[in-house]
Structure formats: C-alpha cells, structure tokens
Amino acid sequence: MPEPARHEPNGRAAITAGAPGPIAPPSSEPFAAPIAAPKSPTPPTRAAGGVGTPTPRTGGVGSSPARPEAEAKVNGAFDYASDLSFPGMLWGHTLRSPHPRARLRSIDTAAARAIPGVEAVLTAADVPGKLHYGLIEDDQPVLSLGEVNYEGEPVAIVAAATLDLARRAAERIEVDYELLEPRCDPEEAVEAGDFFRYQPVRLGDPESQVPAAVVAREYVVGMQDQAPLGPESGAAVPTADGGVELHVATQWVHSDLEQIAPCLGLEPDRIHMAIAGIGGAFGAREDLSVQVHMAMLALATGRPVKMMYDRAESFWGHVHRHPARMRYEHAADADGKLLYVKARIVLDGGAYASTTEAVVGNAASLAVGPYEVEHVSVDAWGARTNNPPCGAMRGFGGVQTCFAYESQMDALAEALGLSPVEFRRRNAVAQGSKLITGQVVDAYDPDRADNGKPFSPLADMLGRFKDLPVPAVPAGRDIVDLPGGTGNTTHGEGVRRGVGYGVGLKNVCYSEGFDDYSTAGVRLELVDGQTVAFVHTAAAEVGQGHWSLQTQIVRTELDVDRVELLPNDTKAGSAGSSSASRQSYMTGGAVKAACEAVRELLQDHDLADGPVEATRVFRHRATKPMDPVTGQGESHVQLALCVHRATVDVDIELGLVKVVDLTCVQDVGKIMNPVALEGQIHGGSAQGLGLAVMEEMITEQGRVRNASFTDYLIPTILDMPPMRLRIVENADPESPYGLRGAGEPPTLSSTPAIVAAIRDATGLALTQIPVRPEHLTAHLGRQP
C-alpha cells in the first residue's frame, strides 16, 4: 500500500498512557513554551525502547488518570477519521434518493463519468458481492436495487479528485424515479402486519384486578438524533494482494468486517480494518455508513478513497432513535401498590431493520421500569415504514418507555394523593423481586436488608435526595437568568418553578441469549530495563474513556507503571461494540482476565528471559431469549439504576423552559474512574435534556425537514444546568470489580424528570416529547 501522506493514522500508532496527575501548577512563565505547529501530528508514539517519562504507579482502578489520548486531543493532533489523508487519495461521495419511496426506472451515469477528474461512478450493478447488509438482518441494500425506501437511501457513489468535484458529478447522475406513495404511519404498518418484531409480555391477569385508581394516557416520543460532532468518515486503501485496508470511525469493527466482506466479495482476511479516531458515537456508528462504499470505490479505482459526510448528510447517513407512540394504563390499589400495567408500544423502525429487533426487546422487557407489579400485558412492535431507519442510540429502547412509565407513575401518585417519591418507593424492586419478564433481581448483596425487608437499591437512592435540597429561587435575579435568557422580553411575571423526578432502569451488555464476548491480549516485557505492558483489543474509544480504563485495570492487576495500547483493529479478537454500556464490563473484564493469566505465568517466569503474554476471551453469564408469547425469560445480564430530580423555571405565558438544576443519584456498582464517570453522567443527562425540550428530527411524509444544526437543536452550555451527583456503589458480585455499566442510565431518567418538573410548574399533562413552547401555550389559545 502507499505510504500515508503525512502521518500514521491513529489506528497504527500505539497510544501511550499519559502521566496521570493533577493540573500542573502554574510555572513562572506559563506562556513561555512556544506551541509549535505539529510537523507530524501523530499521537505520542513510544515504540518499544522509546522515550517517555515513566508514569508514576498511580492511575489504577478508582483513580482518574489523564486520558492516554488527551494530549493529542488538546493539541489538535488527534487524528479523527475525517483527518485522514493518503497520497493519490480520491474523495468519495454518495448520491442519495430525494424521495422516501420510489421505483428506479433507470440510472444514467454517463454525464457524471465524462467529467474530467471523476474516476468512478458506481451503482448497485457494480456491487462485487452480496447486495445487502445489516447488523441483525441483511436487508439494507449497499446501493438501491430497483426501489428506494427512505429519503436519503444511497443510490450511487462517485470517486473524484476532490470532494467538490465528486459532489458535482453526483448531481449529474440522471435517475428516473417513479414516485410511490410512502407509508409513514407506523400504526398503519403494524395493522398491515409490516413490522420487524412483535414482542408481548404477559404476566398474571390484569383484567381481573379491582383497582382504587387507574390512569390511562398516550405518550409520543419524537425521533432523536445522536448528533456526534465527528461526521461519518473513513478511508479505504487498496492493498497489493487485491484486498483493502479500511480506517473508519466505528463502534464495532468486527461486525463491520462481517458485513463488509461478503458485499465486497472478498474473504475477510483480505480486509484489514483499523478504528480511526472517533468523534463521538452514541449509537450512530453501530450500523455501516461509508464502509462498503469507500471500499468499492477504492477497489474500482485502485486508489485510496476517503469519504466524509457533511452535517446534512450525516442526518441521512445514520440511523436514529426510534420515535414512539405508547398507550399506557397503570392501576394501583388503595395502599399505593401497583396492581397492573397495560402497555401498547409502537416504535417506528423506518425502512430497514438495523437493530430494531433488539430495541423492541428492550422496550418490552423494561416496559414498566424498576417496579414490582404482578399483572402485566405489554405489546411492543417495531414497525417498518418509509421513514428514516432507526436503530441504536444511547438508551436503546429503554428511553421511550421510561418517559411513558415515569409519567404514569407521577399521574398515578397524584391520583392516589401520594408524593411521586413515596409512590415509587412503595413499588420499587428489591433484592429477589421479579421483573415483568420473570427475571429475578439478584445482583445486590442478598444479606443486606432495609428495615428487615430485602434491600431495595432504588428505595435507598430515592431516600438520598433528602440531603440534596431543591435550589431556592434566587431573590432579585437577573433577567438573563429567566427562561429564554436575553430572548425573554418580560420581567419574569409568568415564571413558575417546578420539580420532578425520573427513574430509569437500563440493561447493560447484550441481552436475549446473544453470545456476548470480548477479547483482550496483554503482553508484559522488559523494555530497557523497564517493565511495560502492551494491551491489544478491538474496543472502540468513542470518547467514553475506555482507553484510560484499560490502562487503569492493567496498572492495578499487574502493578506496572507503563501501559501501551496497541491499535484497535481486526488483528485482535472481537471486543463487541462500544454500546449497551458494556465495554467496562466486557473489555474491562477481558483485560482483567488477560492480566490475571499473565500474573499466573509470571509465577514461573522471569521477565529477563523474555516477555509473557496471554489472550483471554471474556463472557458474561448467559442470558435467555424472551418467550415469543409471554415475554418471560431471564433476558438481561445486568441492570443499572439512575434517578434524576429536575428543577425548572417555566415562563407559562411564553412557553419557555429553563432547567435550573439536575440532581442525579446513580448506582454504578464500582467507581472505576471518578472523572470519566461524572462526565458520562453529565453527558447522558444532557442528551436526556435534549430529548425533553428540544431535540427532534421532524419528518413530513417521510421527508426530513431539519437536517442541520440550525434546525435540529442540541443543548448548548446555556441550556445545561449545574449538576449535583451522588454516586452509589452497590456492587454486582458477578461483574469485574462489581461495576455496573454507567453510560446509558442517565439518558433514560433525565428526560422524564425534566418533563415532570415542567408539569409541576404548569399543571399541564404534557404527554409528548420534546416539549415545545406551543405545547405550553396552546391552552392560552395562542397557537400559531
């Protein structure tokens, strides 16, 4: 392969763990050191025998060492997938369907091909191998085959000397579409039997119960986008043996390879894949985007090809969080105990399967949250429509139902005259409780008790808010602190404060019998007299801090200072995806297991005689499928709880909301890295805030109306309130160090907490998210 133009991509450079420690004290000349433009902006690479200050023997599990890649990131020297460059590189671009549903009568690429500098124009007819791919079901066409099923479906791809030229060439491709009526109503699709999965849950007999209070409401959740700041990007480089090397920002490189190889008609060993620098993921990089397309272009032209979506294309180029329509009925007895829950959940999976099947499983199994209830009837569907495909996003099927069941818990508490906290406490699951799937809650200390009853982590967490008072309304506050900030034209006469709670229960790792595993290799060797540990995994560092975590585990397990992380690529065994809050558990577990094996070997071995190494595959305990009729089955391996309390100010006349405080209590089992953990809770809470009050991809008849950061709003620093965290460590006896996955749970619970607070301030029912100004002012008769 050709040599890279300017540097080794991250994927091929070992990342050295930086020295942990506090912020350096100010030197006498803090600005004295010139910050030179990096001639070769490579992450600090220290090969065996290389340079570098040895890290002190801190930075193990429980500490917050500096991220190995942090120095490169603050210097602008970290190579994201969109920063890759190779000599002779072409740019690829995708022509996408402007119609949500159409038949392709013909595609004429002659005019595009004729443009000087255009090296390839490919359509479905040029796909070398299998015509479809998919994470679970192979139903996504590599390029449209005879019909398009959503707006933005890839139809043709172009490689040209520049991105501009590739875009202009794509405009010259003549596609004759015969427009067809799109199906955009997921309820209609379900009625027509057009769905990816139907999963019921049946428990007891809801119909035979005699409740003291019943609440029935319908809830609507909009389509949320992951909106990672780094666009979909990567580069494909043809290799001398007719294969191809891919550098791509992906969450699961081995799954990519499994999907890509058949489409390219290549044996998997002809494709080398390395993870390039990832600018956030949140589920958006679980499905393929640029992978097959850029590889096809590279193989067709014999030259390196880079692809990078712009922001608008990014909105079309990845799956989204499923919009949902949910009808819930909750009933309780006079003592405030839940009697039954009935739920009808329709998730819109869009045009292709992606991970809808698994999302429906989560929505169904977690449909009532962390509450005990003996009579349940849940029906959950993932509909197939001509809307944008939906799949993985942080929270993965747990977010939509959490908004509904928490809203229901508040409404029922009010009907019973109980406080939201007390009602939740009375119904909270405890050690030994059963979820609606029959799964026993067993991951807490079985000997621990609360007032003689089995320990309820949720009741304990709810109790902790007593010590965290709701912030007082400041006297004489500045008008810029009002909802709407400087956009608020009043003096705050219409501002009301509200407080609300939300509880989320999220499964960690893969569920429903999936063979979930991760692989890690650890080698210990002497380098110039110093013991160095090398770690090789394929786990994606998406920003969550997993590289740090690996170094911490190795330091703790092997008592070494220096840890070198080898490139995350397909030369290592699969690590599974950086999703489902699972990498600390799974790849953390694999690294720990490999370290333990190395330690064992060291008992009969002197490092002076040569290195020792071990590779281990780590699996969590097996889970079971959900029964297709009753939904029963121990489908999850680990469950994690998070509770939010939101305090909001609402201008009830202008319909403006300001979240003034978010307080969060989360059970993480074990604090592995305090700073990274807090960052996960803050960031997850922010995405939940976004869904509560601003984030929605708006579609009209299958057409996306707001594919830009001008029109799709994500929270800014002015939208996020200060957060107070209380982190609880109820160890899971089965997981490494007792940890619980932590990235997703806060994304579930912050949304219902914020909406509950808005309800408290306004007295409105608010059954749709995001809550928009017009939802708050419609009753005033001022709707536009």
Interface positions, 22-41, toward another protein (CB under 8 A)? 22-26, 29-38, 41
How distant is the alpha carbon of residue 390 from its chain centre? 13
In angstroms, the CA 511 to CA 473 distance is 44
- Nearer Cβ to another protein (72/155): 72
Candidates 182, 283, 502, 545: give the one binding another protein (CB under 8 A): 545
Contact 488/495 with Cβ under 8 angstroms? no
210 binds another protein (CB under 8 A): no
Report, in Å, the least distance between residue 629 CB and another protein.
40
Interstrand relation of 338-348 and 375-383 (parallel, antiparallel or unpaired):
parallel
- Nearer Cβ to another protein (30/784): 30
Report, in Å, the least distance between residue 450 CB and another protein.
32
Using CB under 8 A, which residues numbered 265 to 284 contact another protein? 278-282
723 binds another protein (CB under 8 A): yes
DSSP 699-723: EETTEES--STTTS----TTTSPPE
- Nearer Cβ to another protein (29/700): 29
Report, in Å, the least distance between residue 471 CB and another protein.
13
Candidates 13, 14, 17, 66: give the one binding another protein (CB under 8 A): 66
- Nearer Cβ to another protein (386/687): 687
With CA atoms as reference, report the closest residue to 404 among 600, 215, 597, 668: 215
In angstroms, the CA 117 to CA 264 distance is 24
Q: Which two three-digit tokens encode residue 240?
A: 């001398």
- Nearer Cβ to another protein (282/340): 282
Using CB under 8 A, which residues numbered 699 to 718 contact another protein? 708-710, 714-718
Please measure the distance between the N-terminal and C-terminal CA atoms of the chain and give it in whole angstroms.
60
Give the Å distances, CA to CA, from 698 to 224, 460, 691.
9, 40, 13
780 binds another protein (CB under 8 A): no
Candidates 13, 127, 227, 413: give the one binding another protein (CB under 8 A): 227
Q: Which two three-digit tokens encode residue 20?
A: 């942990």
- Nearer Cβ to another protein (79/151): 79
Residues 602-621, one symbol each (x = binds another protein by CB under 8 A, - = not), give --------------------
Report, in Å, the least distance between residue 280 CB and another protein.
4
With CA atoms as reference, report the closest residue to 584 among 554, 546, 551, 615: 546
Candidates 136, 566, 720, 766: give the one binding another protein (CB under 8 A): 720
Report, in Å, the least distance between residue 68 CB and another protein.
11
- Nearer Cβ to another protein (42/97): 42
- Nearer Cβ to another protein (141/743): 743
In angstroms, the CA 118 to CA 541 distance is 35
In angstroms, the CA 22 to CA 207 distance is 60
Candidates 480, 602, 607, 622: give the one binding another protein (CB under 8 A): 480
With CA atoms as reference, report the closest residue to 640 among 287, 315, 381, 394: 394
- Nearer Cβ to another protein (2/417): 2
With both helix axes pointing from N to C terminus, report the angle between 398-416 and 674-693 in degrees, rounded to the nearest 10.
Answer: 70
92 binds another protein (CB under 8 A): no
70 binds another protein (CB under 8 A): yes
171 binds another protein (CB under 8 A): no
Stretch near another protein under the rule CB under 8 A, chosen from 14-22, 167-175, 178-186, 580-588: 14-22
Quote the strand ranges of 194-262, DSSP E: 195-203, 213-221, 233-238, 244-248
Using CB under 8 A, which residues numbered 394 to 423 contact another protein? none
- Nearer Cβ to another protein (6/497): 6
- Nearer Cβ to another protein (174/711): 711
Q: Which two three-digit tokens encode residue 213?
A: 């209070």
Candidates 679, 731, 772, 778: give the one binding another protein (CB under 8 A): 679
Amino acid at 153: E
In angstroms, the CA 295 to CA 306 distance is 9
Q: Which two three-digit tokens encode residue 373?
A: 């209830």
Helix (H) or strand (E) holding 427: helix 420-427
Candidates 271, 435, 637, 686: give the one binding another protein (CB under 8 A): 686
3-state secondary structure of 597: helix
Q: Which two three-digit tokens encode residue 277?
A: 């620098």
71 binds another protein (CB under 8 A): yes
Stretch near another protein under the rule CB under 8 A, chosen from 124-132, 265-273, 607-615, 677-685: 677-685
234 binds another protein (CB under 8 A): no
**Helix and strand element counts for the chain (H, E):** 16, 31
3-state secondary structure of 280: coil
CB hemisphere CA count around 494 (13 angstroms)? 18
- Nearer Cβ to another protein (537/750): 750
Reading across the β-sheet that carries 118-122, which strands appear in turn? Answer: 118-122, 154-160, 90-96, 305-308, 233-238, 244-248, 271-275
685 binds another protein (CB under 8 A): yes
CB hemisphere CA count around 315 (13 angstroms)? 22
Using CB under 8 A, which residues numbered 514 to 543 contact another protein? 542-543
Using CB under 8 A, which residues numbered 121 to 140 contact another protein? none
75 binds another protein (CB under 8 A): yes
Contact 689/752 with Cβ under 8 angstroms? no
Report, in Å, the least distance between residue 314 CB and another protein.
9
452 binds another protein (CB under 8 A): no
- Nearer Cβ to another protein (127/542): 542
687 binds another protein (CB under 8 A): yes
Q: Which two three-digit tokens encode residue 205?
A: 């007999």
How distant is the alpha carbon of residue 155 from its chain centre? 27
Q: How many residues bind another protein (CB under 8 A)?
A: 83
469 binds another protein (CB under 8 A): no
